[in-house]
A = this chain, B = another copy of it.
């Protein structure tokens, strides 16, 4: 087997595009995929020839370890198109370094940066018609790695597949969300895999989230598993709290994802001279602030959600409504982020990454 040459991705182009079958005004998140996909297999101890091929189902053995032991990690990214038709990514090297951190925790071999960036850019060049211009439109990009070894012993796989698939997206959450603060269920443990974008972290949230949804809440804000006294993250979003004009978010830890939108918002807070504290936050502090009127905003941050304002939360059977604000930080950060992402404003931190 020859070692892969990163400048030579094997490319098989789709015979015809599916793009004309897509109603871009009515897109369900994550159900439609572009014409091509990227894949690279890890066999015999090394990553093999990277390939781009028409998006298609793949043949996989029922004993593949990903099905049995959840040895799988992923990333979420977006590409944006400006008014001149140029396509941009947002801090993509951070996604690469994070998927490798996730992989290390899940005993998956790290994926070389050159393979990742070259695969991503080549794939986006082929499918750039799928990136629609206009704020609110984007192409959601899903890099992921799965254990493909055909063996059900409970041990790390020998073989893996790294893939990138892309799906056109509108805003992920529309409107404000109502959230439930966790009192019984937990997302992750100290010394666990909560900081990683490990597949099993997400499936484990579906049942408690379905219970919350049945009560009229779209999301759960997870608390620490030990005491349920501290606010952590929302599973698909990091969470920010504004008390008067101060913004607070929990520190990253081995339970909390190091969100790229989260750290961008922390930087934007500094740029906007907003008092920003990264520290542990008690549920009681937020409840007291809601009661005395100093809790001005709660919002979530994440690639899919961008900035998602929270209109109410429930804890211990009491619902706390958060009144609308004219000048919300959430709206300001969302506008500033989208403007940077869509090349409508200066990019003083070098977050935009042109797809050439």
**A residues at B contact (CB < 8 Å):** 28-31, 33, 37, 55, 57-63, 65-72, 74, 104-107, 140, 142, 144, 146-147, 150-156, 163, 165, 167, 182, 184-193, 198-207, 209-210, 225-226, 228, 235-236, 304
Contacts and interface: CB of A to CB of B under 8 A. Distances in A.
B106 A207 contact: yes
B203 A201 contact: no
B68 A106 contact: no
Contact of A68 (B29, B55, B153, B199): B199
Nearest to A145: B67
B201 A191 contact: no
A220 B170 CA distance: 45
A203 B71 contact: yes
A57 B59 contact: yes
A313 to B, nearest CB: 18
A121 to B, nearest CB: 19
B67 A33 contact: no
Interface centre among A61, A105, A207 (most CB of B within 10 A): A207
B192 A182 contact: no
A225 B33 contact: no
A14 B259 CA distance: 50
Nearest to A152: B30
Nearest to A204: B193
